[in-house]
Chain A
Amino acid sequence: MIRLENVYKTYPDGTEAVKDLNLEISKGEFCVFLGPSGCGKTTSMKMINRLISLTSGKIYVDDKDIMSFNPNELRRNIGYAIQNIGLFPHLTVWENIATVPMLKKWSKQKQLDRAEELLELVGMDPSVFMYRYPSELSGGQQQRVGVARSLGADPDILLMDEPFGAIDPITRSKLQDEFLKIQAKIKKTIAFVTHDIEEAIKMGDKIALMKAGRLVQYDDPATLLTYPKDEFVRNFVGADRVLKGLRLYKAKDVMKEPPVTVKIDEDPARVKKRMEESNTKWSMVTDEKDRFIGWIASDDIKGSKSIKEIYKPPTVTAGPDTPLNEALSMMINSTIGTLAILDEDGKMLGVLSFDIIRDMLGQEESEQQKETKASGEKS
């Protein structure tokens, strides 16, 4: 747990980098410090391990005042990863990872075991990489070693300063996914700095949005996107905040039961009638084992042709865990405009359509309007 109380940082030249910052990061929570450059997010993070000294206020780590520790001792118990990684080029991968264990004077065998364990955790084969040098690794591999090194002595708290900032977008996205999986396992308390709103939404349990040294809004990503506190937040999250927010939902959270499903061996005339009654243009076709195999349009049902002859196989399908933003882009690409959500065996779980997504967003929007109205009346 990390708690900041009335924290100020004023530099000797009078610059106020951080003003009256109050914030609590609960145990096991992933908190992202977000904001434009110069907003004080990095300063705030570096005050936690005393790389930057406080001007006034208190910071507590697990309810202990950080000023009561020797700074080096404090830092050895807090993991630290930075954007440019800063691996030591004259040391091997394992020696880099074992930096903090070495400072803590662990036995050599224990250091080696720990380095091996961490390499495996970040998805690198210890038998290949233990004795390599940083200059022999790709950028993504170096970044992984950097993350492994920050976990060296298994600290409860991690500070990460744009750790995925300096790598290409594809590798970055992959590393983000991997790191989220690692975090699900290790459950560290994390303070993570970024200026990238997409990254903040993807990674954070909470986002602390800062501007000119002040904390503007501290909320979970969904709340931040749906209820931006003021004009600054609204602009910072962007006009496409609704689209960005879709990433936070999964297909299974929103999908609906399909109105009409058709068995492959059904009588076409009866199917047409059913579809006309429920006023649907497209229906889902399933085989004998209830597996989704394609779509059928009511206009195509003519004469004596069986369903088998006229159904169209799907161009795309999604899984229950597909984020809504991806699902939406699949729908835009498909001719039907409706997306079948299938489980691993191909069984149908539900459907998504533009209307369903619009309805969901509409509900949130109206809730938000009610709330702003209510708060407007109060004030």
Chain B
Amino acid sequence: MWQEAWQYFLKNTDKILKWTVQHIYIIIVANVCAVIIGVTVGIFISGKGRERIAEMVIYFASIMMTIPSLALYGILMGILASLSLPSIGFLPVVIALTLYGLLPIIRNTYTAIREVDPDMIEAGRGMGMGETQILLKIKLPLAVPVIMAGMRQAIVMNIGIAAIGSYIGAGGLGQPIFRGIANYRTDLIAVGAVCVSLLAIIVDVVMGRLEWLTTPKGVRIRLRRKS
């Protein structure tokens, strides 16, 4: 099987490359959306007196995660069709991945901002910082590494889920897997699976590095001391 898979890989590098690019493209678009929405929502619900809303939003996002991806694609196809938007292919998959990516990003943004030391915020306010300045100069710089960790989680998870998107015609590295299942070709399944896993591992390593790079220098020192 592995022999055949390797042969297939060598013969069809151009195809596999195309699928990989498709896959990455879907992931990037979906996660950019998830970050924009997730961070905004996370900042909003971390505001004073919004604990109830925060609870509800996070609860809702957690429920989102429990919906099986195939079912979610199905539901989205129905909704998109009724809005006369393209109901198969790229759009439903991107929307589904955006929804899946929200929970880790919202939750991490919320927690990171809420956990900024209240003494720092009090010091900032006492020295005459407005709420926006406190957010931009204190809360966000300190929250960025935690938000990055949420993004990392979301992206790695979505790489797997995106493979299923091939079933509704979005392309990507799910293609060889579904073809393999349909035609009893284990070599195709193996190629698809290995590529998806490799992609996930590489992205995880890159994101881990990015998480470190976005950690403010003064905080890095503290983390290093702790460990």
Interfacial residues, chain A to chain B (CB-CB below 8 A): 49, 51, 71-77, 80, 82, 84-92, 99-100, 103, 133-136, 149-150, 152, 159
Picked from A49, A73, A90, the residue with its CB within 8 Å of the CB of B126 is A49
Across-interface contacts of A80 in B (CB, < 8 A): 123, 126-127
Quick one: given A103-B133, A135-B218, A135-B221, are A86 and B128 in contact (CB under 8 Å)?
no
Q: Closest approach, in angstroms, between the C-beta of B11 and any C-beta of chain A?
A: 52
A51, closest chain B residue (CB) = B126
Picked from A76, A82, A133, A136, the residue with its CB within 8 Å of the CB of B123 is A82
Q: Is the CB of A86 within 8 A of B222?
A: no
Q: Closest approach, in angstroms, between the C-beta of B113 and any C-beta of chain A?
A: 14
A132, closest chain B residue (CB) = B218
Residue with the greatest number of chain B CB neighbours at <10 A, chosen from A72, A100, A149: A72
Count of A-B contacts with CB under 8 A?
81
Quick one: given A75-B128, A134-B218, are A89 and B142 in contact (CB under 8 Å)?
yes
Q: How far is the CA of A85 from the CA of B123 in the complex (A)?
A: 7
Interface flags, B60-98, vs A, CB<8A=1, else 0: 000000000000000000000000000000000000000
Picked from A88, A89, A91, A152, the residue with its CB within 8 Å of the CB of B222 is A89
Query: Does more than half of chain B's interface fall in helix, strand or loop, or is it mixed?
Result: helix
Interface flags, B207-227, vs A, CB<8A=1, else 0: 000000000111101100100
Select the stretch in B24-32, B46-54, B114-122, B186-194 that faces chain A.
Answer: B114-122
Q: How far is the CA of A77 from the CA of B128 in the complex (A)?
A: 8
Q: Closest approach, in angstroms, between the C-beta of A156 and any C-beta of chain B?
A: 15
Interfacial residues, chain B to chain A (CB-CB below 8 A): 117, 119-130, 133, 137-138, 141-142, 216-219, 221-222, 225
Q: Is the CB of B218 within 8 A of A133?
A: yes
Across-interface contacts of B126 in A (CB, < 8 A): 49, 51, 75, 80, 82, 159
Across-interface contacts of A72 in B (CB, < 8 A): 128-130
> What are 25 A-B pairs at a CB distance below 8 A?
A51-B122, A51-B125, A76-B127, A80-B126, A82-B119, A82-B122, A84-B119, A86-B117, A86-B119, A86-B120, A86-B121, A88-B123, A88-B124, A89-B142, A89-B216, A90-B141, A99-B127, A103-B129, A133-B217, A133-B221, A134-B218, A135-B218, A136-B221, A152-B127, A159-B126
Across-interface contacts of B142 in A (CB, < 8 A): 89-90
Q: Is the CB of B119 within 8 A of A85?
A: yes
Across-interface contacts of B222 in A (CB, < 8 A): 89, 135
Q: How far is the CA of A88 from the CA of B218 in the complex (A)?
A: 9
Q: How far is the CA of A79 from the CA of B177 in the complex (A)?
A: 65
